[in-house]
Amino acid sequence: MHSRVNRIALQADGTFGDSGKIAALAEADINIAFGDVAAISALAETSDSHFQESSARWIASSSCLGAMSHLGTDEGESFVHVLSLQDIDGGAGVSSADLTPGRERAIAEATLVQAMQDAGKLGEMPSLVWLIVAPGHEEEVLDGLHGVLGDTVPIFGGSSADNTIEGKWVQFDGSQLRHNGIVVAVLYLTEPVSCYFSSGYEPTELSAQVTAVDGRRLFALDGEPAGTVYNRWLNLMEQDPLKAGNILQASTYFPISRNRGPVSLDVPLLSHPAWLHDDGSIELFASLDKGEQITLMSGHPDNLIRRATEVTEVVLRTHELNYERRPKALMIVFCGGCMLAVKEHLNEIQRSLLVLAQGVPFIVGFTFGEQGCFSDGISRHGNLMISATAIG
């Protein structure tokens, strides 16, 4: 397998400046891409003239304020960052669909099966599933994928993002641009894969039981309005209480976690409070279950700045220890909320990753939800998380 990353600039007229690089992408087995909404939308328009006769598969997502790779950051400009994989021994397949309310699980199952058929591997378990999905129903989508795969295949990826949390995110499968869709890629690799899914937050001693919840809307903790409890916790952390409205930015350093997986793993999976309602309920970017014990987490800018490098270091060390070789490519998913909290340090983060990667090409997407696999083998959806996937 061969890998290559291209970073292609979007010009003021909405076209890409280097048509040669765009045309070369048609030679890949699969292209995995991130860019801001403008870049991915322009990529979809470009596909009409460059990719229609190509056998290259695509899985691309809009990313908050652009993306990153070993070739650089976007710094206010629009680029598409594309990781191209070629000469994959086992093969790859991609499929996509629009999500319909109430049918997310069934749609995810069917899309995965179609991706397997596209790879010519129906009934065979892939080495890795790479997932791009519109925010909103990621848990149902993962349930659908697990219905086909069981818990034996790692599912990694992220929820599409836009620049201003307006719901303008897009997904692209090489021929169709979707706004509320799912794109699934299945990779059948004879070469190894290593993954790591984590966060840059520490638990506090503040916790409560979920006593009333409806999906992503948390109504009560220990029998009290969720907003009352959350503001009490913030006060104990010497933070100002929050008023009703959008609390996404204000809660970035104080998400809540629930432990998922065996107790021995003690794995925190984060949920990001997004909106405090007048009735004291809190809207989250991930679902909770009644009876779950949740814990207030605490973050710090220094931890978030270091975390992408630390997560990548773990996956590189694991890959080298298990397979005695360096990988051929890295795919990193970095929560858009975390990125916005430390965006003045993106160049510093990119340089640290560049030093660590030592020539291994990498891409980074900034997402509004993250999917990944913990060491218990089960893939889950969380917020304010970071993942790294090493292949080859």
How confident is the model over 12-21, as pLDDT tens digits? 888 887 777 8
Measured between alpha carbons, how far is 137 from 286 in angstroms, rounded to an integer?
Answer: 8
Measured between alpha carbons, how far is 292 from 228 in angstroms, rounded to an integer?
Answer: 18
At residue 94's C-alpha, the angle toward residues 80 and 336, to 5°, is 40
Measured between alpha carbons, how far is 201 from 268 in angstroms, rounded to an integer?
Answer: 9
**Tokens read off for 368:** 């509004």
Instruction: List pLDDT tens digits, range 105-126.
Output: 999 999 999 999 999 999 899 9
Q: Are strands 30-35 and 79-86 parallel, antiparallel or unpaired?
A: antiparallel
Q: Is the pLDDT of residue 48 over 90?
A: no
Q: Are 79 and 35 in contact (CB under 8 A)?
A: yes
Q: What is the DSSP letter of 16?
A: B
pTM of this structure: 0.94
Query: What is the Cα Rg of the chain in Å?
Result: 20
What mean pLDDT do residues 64-76 have? 94
What is the model's pLDDT at position 50? 66
Measured between alpha carbons, how far is 378 from 272 in angstroms, rounded to an integer?
Answer: 21
What is the model's pLDDT at position 241? 94
What residues form DSSP beta bridges with 128? 187
At residue 247's C-alpha, the angle toward residues 61 and 363, to 5°, is 25
